[in-house]
Each structure stands twice: as structure tokens, then as C-alpha cells.
Amino acid sequence: MKNNDLDYQIKTVRVGILGVSGYTGREVLSLALKHPYVRVTYVAANNTQGPIAEIYPEFLNRTTLVCEKFDLKKTIEKCDVVFLALPHTESMSVAPKLLKAGLKVIDLSADYRLKNPKVYEKWYAHKHTDLKNLKNAVYGLPELFRQKIKGATFVANPGCYPTAAILGLAPLISTRKDIQSLVIDAKSGVSGAGRKATTDRLFAEINENFKAYKVLSHQHSPEIEQYLSGLAGRATSVHFVAHLLPITRGILNTMYVHLSEGISLNQVHALYKKFYKIEPFVRIHPLASQPEVKNVANTNFCDIGLAVSPDKKMVVVTSVIDNLVKGAAGQAVQNMNIIYGFNETEGLL
């Protein structure tokens, strides 16, 4: 059981989690329970209620929290900050009310990531109904937007593929003007698809299997393109293909950056080391070593590997994260740490 002595309670943040019955919500809860400056005061889900330890026996002896049906008033009374682990399109009906009541909100859905509501509408097949907060939402990728997050009351937590893609490409995209084409070959573990019961996510369908899906048509493409364009200072497009790995956690993006001028492996390695010099969660692999999913599983790290073709014109960047941690819940906690001025790694190492 969590130590709740006085010393802690003084500086404790009261945390609420909406959508705790999904994989992302559960991961936020698990991290929050270990966080020294957090007290989880409210958890809710629409399709499951009852003691958390009954819903998820992994929490036996760890918490006496009871999952409730979402109640706006209770949420506002009990929480300082709320993590929204809701399905896409549901966040935007809740977030405005919480923000209006003065709470801080960290939204793990896709609702506030795309700045252009028309692009959102195209990819998520739903009209955006909260343009005001869409405009103000800060994109919660600390390595690129830490200063904005510091003062934020509302954070749009990045998608899992975009986190791995943008961190893997940022050093090149923000410094090279000779990028000819970008291919992102992305592979994700199954938890990224959520906990809804569908035939194609059954064990016997995924196990010993591998396939591409949403080829050149994944809804994370515009999110990636929006932020790469910002970094590049010009419209930037990617060829993005997603694949489903027979593992529970982890993403590996293999990214092919075609340069017209070329760069040596030593140069690109130095560029990445420098770009992420102070970052606690981005680790550039030594030369000739490649990152592996298992090294970042259950952590908030993003590991990056680099290779260059003999003619120096093709850079292959591989980036790995745990899709539920750095790709979702861990990054959300990292954002909370920044907002509240805690050590950025608090509860995450």
C-alpha cells in the first residue's frame, strides 16, 4: 500500500483517471500509484464499475480505489488534474467542462492533437466540437515542447507512433534541407489497439502472425506530418505503413530518410547525441548497435539507432518505445511532472 504520511500529502497532487478500464487508463493508474507526489482520488469508466482490485487483480493489496461511473461534479471536487484515457471523440465532450472548472487536463486521446479541425474530421470521421480548447492545447512531447508544457493547463498527449516517429526524425528534420523522401515503416504491439473485444485481436489471430494494416492510410500520418512540418519549417509528408507485432507492448519504427547531399554515420550520430544531450528519456545507441523493444518495455525510454548507406544518402533511423508508457501513460505522467515542477523523471525510473 502507498505510504500516505503527512509529509507526502502536503505536496501531493490529486489525480483523476477517466477511462480506467482500457489498457492506457490502467497504465496511468499503475504509474500514478507508484508516484511519490500523487494521490489517485478518482477513477471512472463507463462499462465497468467496482473495486479496482476486482477489475484488475494485479492491484490486489495495492489500492482500495473503487471505479465509478463518470460523474462530472465528483471529478471536479476530487481532482486537481485529470487524465483522459477515453476513446477518440469522447474526450472533447468532457475536456471543456473540466477545464472550465479550473482543473488541469492531460488528454491521451487524439482529439486535440491535430490543429486543423478539417484534418481531424477527415481522419476521425467526426466533427470537432471544441475549437477553443483545440487552439490552446499544448502538444505534450516534452523533448520538443517542454517550455510550453511548463505553463500549460491542457496537454494533448501525443500518439504512440508519432512519439516514436517524431523523436526519431527531429534531429534530421530540423537541421537538413536536403530531405528527398521519408518512409516510416512502423510496427506495434497489440496493446496499442486497445482492449475492445474484436475477432481480429484474439490471441489465435495475432499469435504467430504478422501483417501490415492501414497501409498509407493510418490516422497517425497527419499527426506526424503536422509536427515534422513545424520542425522543418515547410510542408513535409511521409509514407507511413503500420504493422501489427505479436507482442503486447512496444513500437519499433524503421525510418528511411533520403538525403540529396549525404551525411556520414559519424556526423549523424554526433547530431543525435547533441540534440538529445540533456534528455533523460532519449537514449542514442552506440554506433553499430540497434535498439530493441525489450530494452524499453515497461519504461519511459525512447531508444534510437542509426545507420547510413555507403553512398551516405540514405539514413536509416530506428526508434523504439513502449507504446503504453512513452507512447501514452508514461509520457502523460512526464507531462504532469513538468506542469507541477516535479523532477521530470519522478515516478518514471
Q: Are 203 and 181 in contact (CB under 8 A)?
A: no
d(CA 271, CA 293): 23
- Residues 49, 89, 174, 248: which binds a second copy (CB under 8 A)? 248
Indicate the SS3 state at residue 235. Answer: coil
Tell me the C-alpha to C-alpha distance, in Å, between residue 68 and each of 20, 40, 44, 57, 71: 10, 13, 5, 17, 8
Count of residues that interact with a second copy, criterion CB under 8 A? 76
Burial class of 288 by CB neighbour count within 10 A (0 to 12, 13 to 18, 19+)? exposed
For the CB of residue 106, give the shortest distance to a second copy in the complex, in Å.
Answer: 23
What value does the CA radius of gyration of the chain take, rounded to a whole number of Å?
Answer: 20
112 CB contacts (<8 Å, ≥6 apart)?
91, 92, 95, 130, 133, 134, 137, 154, 156
What is the rounded distance in angstroms from the CA atom of residue 127 to the CA atom of residue 117?
Answer: 8
| By the rule CB under 8 A, 329 interacts with a second copy | no
Q: Residue 238 corresponds to which amino acid?
A: V
- Backbone torsions φ then ψ of 227, nearest 5 degrees: -80, -30
Choosing from 17, 29, 45, 241, the residue that interacts with a second copy (CB under 8 A) is 241
Whose cell is 492491484? That residue is: 59
Q: Is 151 in the site for a second copy (CB under 8 A)?
A: no
Residues 295 to 324 in contact with a second copy, rule: CB under 8 A: 295-299, 301, 303, 305, 307-310, 314, 316, 318, 320
Residue 235 as a binder of a second copy (CB under 8 A): the answer is: no
Site for a second copy in 124-143 (CB under 8 A): none
Closest by CA to 99, choosing from 70, 69, 72, 65, is 72
Q: Does 266 bind a second copy (CB under 8 A)?
A: no
Active-site positions read 160
Based on CB atoms, which residue is closest to a second copy, 162 or 347? 347
Measure the CA–CA gap between 319 and 287, rounded to whole angstroms: 14
Distance CA 130, CA 95 (A): 9
Considering the rule CB under 8 A, would residue 72 count as an interface residue with a second copy?
no
List, in order, residues 6 or more apart from 230 with CB less than 8 Å away: none
How crowded is the C-beta side of 329, counted as CA atoms within 13 Å? 31
CB distance 220 to 161 below 8 Å: yes
Is residue 247 a contact residue for a second copy (CB under 8 A)? Answer: yes
User: Which residue in 11, 239, 273, 274 binds a second copy (CB under 8 A)?
Assistant: 239
CB nearer a second copy, residue 14 or residue 258: 258
Site for a second copy contains 283 (CB under 8 A): yes
Considering beta carbons, is residue 131 or 199 the nearer one to a second copy?
199
Residue 90 interacts with a second copy (CB under 8 A): yes or no? no
From residue 228, give the alpha-carbon distance in Å to each of 171, 236, 238, 268. Answer: 10, 6, 9, 18
Shortest reach from residue 5's CB to a second copy, in Å: 12
287 binds a second copy (CB under 8 A): no
Closest CB to a second copy among 211 and 234? 211
Q: Out of 108, 172, 252, 336, which residue is the one contacting a second copy (CB under 8 A)?
A: 252
Stretch that binds a second copy, among 7-15, 122-130, 215-223, 329-337 (CB under 8 A): 215-223
CB of 62 to a second copy, least distance (A): 7
Q: How far apart are CA 335 and CA 115, in angstroms?
A: 19
CB of 303 to a second copy, least distance (A): 7
87 touches a second copy (CB under 8 A): no
Q: Using CB under 8 A, pick the residue from 148, 254, 262, 340 that binds a second copy.
A: 254
Q: Which of residues 33-62 bind a second copy (CB under 8 A)?
A: 34, 54, 56-58, 60-62
Q: Which of residues 161-200 bind a second copy (CB under 8 A)?
A: 181, 183, 185, 187, 189-191, 195, 197-199
